[in-house]
C-alpha cells in the first residue's frame, strides 16, 4: 500500500521541491505500515534546529495545516540536512 499526492480527480500530482531527488509523490511503505497500525507517533520538536530551505517550505505549510486539524492531532515533520549552509542564501534573498 502507498499514500500518494493526488488531485480531486485522484490523479497523481507532482510535489514541489527545489531539491534533487525529493520529487517523489508518495510515502514509503514502512511508514505507511506503522501509521496504519497506529504505531507511528509523530511529534514536532523545536530545539534550535536550522532546517534546510527545502524543509523550511514544509514548516511554513505546517503552520497553516495545524490550524485545520482537530485538537490533539499529532503531526511529524522530518528535518534533514544542515540549514547552516543555506543561511547566506536566505540572508541574500530576504535582504536581512
Q: Where are the domains of the chain?
A: 41-94
pLDDT tens per residue, the chain (96 residues)? Answer: 566 778 889 888 776 655 566 556 566 677 677 777 877 654 444 455 667 777 777 878 888 888 898 988 888 777 776 777 777 887 888 776
Q: Which of 49, 58, 48 is nearest to 22 (CA)?
A: 58
Is the model's pTM score more than 0.75? no
Bridge partners for 12 per DSSP: 6
Q: DSSP per residue over 52-82, as a string?
A: -HHHHHHHHHHHHHHTTSPTT--------S-
Rounded distance, CA 43 to CA 55, Å?
15
Collapsing DSSP to helix, strand or coil, 16 comes out as coil
Amino acid at each position: 500500500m502507498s499514500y500518494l499526492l493526488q488531485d480531486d480527480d485522484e490523479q497523481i500530482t507532482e510535489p514541489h521541491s527545489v531539491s534533487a531527488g525529493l520529487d517523489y509523490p508518495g510515502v514509503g511503505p514502512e511508514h505507511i505500515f506503522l501509521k496504519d497500525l497506529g504505531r507511528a507517533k509523530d511529534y514536532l520538536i523545536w530545539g534550535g534546529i536550522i532546517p534546510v530551505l527545502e524543509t523550511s517550505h514544509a514548516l511554513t505549510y505546517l503552520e497553516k495545516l495545524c490550524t485545520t486539524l482537530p485538537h490533539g492531532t499529532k503531526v511529524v515533520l522530518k528535518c534533514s540536512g544542515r540549514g547552516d549552509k543555506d543561511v547566506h542564501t536566505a540572508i541574500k534573498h530576504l535582504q536581512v
